[in-house]
Structure 1
Amino acid sequence: MPTEGDPTTLVKTAHLIILSTSWGMQIWVSFLSGFVLINSVSRHTFSLVQSKLFPYYFYSVLGGSFLNLALYAMYHPHELLSNDETIQITSFFVCVIFSGLNAQWFGHTTSEIVLKMQNIEKEHQLGQEVGFGTKREAYQKLKKKDPKYQKLSRRFVIYHSITMMCNLICVFCNGLNLFYTATNLKTF
C-alpha cells in the first residue's frame, strides 16, 4: 500500500540520522579504527577486540540499512520510482543483503577461524607482537610446518576477503544514498 504525500519532518530527520550515522560508523570502522588498533596493541588483542566489536557493527549496519529501506520504501511506491529513486532503493536493498550476510555468516566464521589460528600461534609463542609486519617469517614458517594452520590461514584469507568486500559494498551503497539524498535537498 503506497503512502501518499511527503514524509513528515520527523521521518526525513530519522532517515538522514540513521543513514549518516551508519555511514560514519562504516568509515570509522573500515578505514580508521583498525589501523590505529593494529599499531597500538598485540596481534591477538587486536583480533579479540575485532571479534567482539564486529557482530555489533555488522548488526548495526544491517539494522540501519533495513530501517532506511523501510522508510524510503514507504514514501516511494515502486510504481512511481524515477531512475534515481530506483538506484537509491536498490542500494538500500543491496546493503541489507550484504550486511545481513556479514552479520549472520561471514563475520562470525572469520572470527571463529582467527580464534582457532590464535590457539596454534600461542603454542608457538606468536601473537603478542604489535603490528602485522613483525615476525612475518615466523608465521610463514608456521604455515609450512603445520598443515592445520596453513588450512586455517587459507580459509581466513578467503572469509576475510569476502567480509571486506561485503562491507565495502555497504559503504559504497550508503555513500551513494547520501549523495542522492544531498542532491535532493531543497535548501542548504
Structure 2
Amino acid sequence: MSLEEEPSSLAKVAQLFVLSLAWGMQIWVTFISGFVLIRGVSRHTFGLVQSKLFPFYFYTLVACAFLNLSLFACYHPRELLSTTETLQGCLYFLCLLLAIVNALGLSPATTGAMFQMQAIEREHGLGGEVGLAARREMYQQLRERDPKYQAARQSFFRRHGLSSLCNLACLACNGINLLCLALHLRGL
C-alpha cells in the first residue's frame, strides 16, 4: 500500500524519531558503552553485561529498521523512486537484514563462544581482572597450553568480528539515511 501524497507531519516525525533513536543507540553501544565498561569492571562482568545488553540492542535495532523501512515504503511507490530514494530504500532494507542476522544468528553464537572461554578461564583463575592488558601473559600461556581454549577463542573472535562488521554496516546505512533526510529538510 504505497501512498503517493506527501507524508503527514506525524509520519515525518515518526520516521525521523525512529531513525534518530536507532542512530543514537548505535553510536552509544558501538563507540561509548563498551569502552567505558571494559575500563571499570572485570572481564567476565563485562562479558555478562554485554550478553544481556546485546540481545535487547539488536532486537530494538530490528524493530527500528522494520519501522523505518515500512514508513519509507508507504510513501515511496517503487515506480516513482529517484536514484537517491532507491538508495535509501536499499539501505533501510540492508539495515533490517543485518540487524536480523545479528539478533538471530551472530549475537547468540558469539555469546555462547564467550561463555565457553570464560568457563575455561575460571578454571585457571582468570577473568576477574579489570581491563584488557591485565595478566596478558597468563592468557597467552593458556592459549598455548589449552587447544580447547584456543578453539573457543578463535570461534569467539570470528563471530564477534562478523557481528561487529554487520553492526558497523548497519550504522553506516542509518547514517547515510539520516544524511538523506537532513538534506531534504526545508528549514530548521
TM-score if structure 2 supplies the norm length? 0.99
* Number of the residue aligned with 1:117: 117
Q: Distance in 1 between the 2:109 and 2:24 partners?
A: 25
* Number of the residue aligned with 2:96: 96
Matched, 1:16 2:26: no
* Number of the residue aligned with 2:82: 82
Question: Structure 1: where are the runs of 5+ without partners?
Answer: none
Please list the CA deviations of residues 127-160 of structure 1 after superposition, one character each: whole Å capped at 9, or x if unmatched: 0000111111111110111111000011111000
Matched, 1:179 2:179: yes
Q: Distance in 1 between the 2:131 and 2:160 partners?
A: 17
Letter in 2 for 1:46: F
Kindly report which structure 2 residues correspond to 1:26-105, keeping only aligned pairs within 5 A, or say none: 26-105=26-105
Letter in 2 for 1:101: V
* Number of the residue aligned with 1:164: 164
* Identity across matched positions, percent: 51
Letter in 1 for 2:65: S
Q: Distance in 2 between the 1:2 and 1:180 partners?
A: 20
* Count of matched residue positions in the alignment of Structure 1 and Structure 2: 188
* Number of the residue aligned with 1:2: 2
Letter in 2 for 1:79: E
Letter in 2 for 1:126: L
Q: Distance in 1 between the 2:159 and 2:133 partners?
A: 21
Q: Distance in 2 between the 1:163 and 1:2 partners?
A: 33
SS class of match (1:186): coil
SS class of match (1:73): helix
Q: Distance in 1 between the 2:106 and 2:133 partners?
A: 25
Please list the CA deviations of residues 7-52 of structure 1 after superposition, one character each: whole Å capped at 9, or x if unmatched: 1111110110000011000000000000000000000000000000
* Number of the residue aligned with 2:139: 139
Runs of 4+ in 1 over 4 A off after TM superposition: none
Letter in 2 for 1:37: L
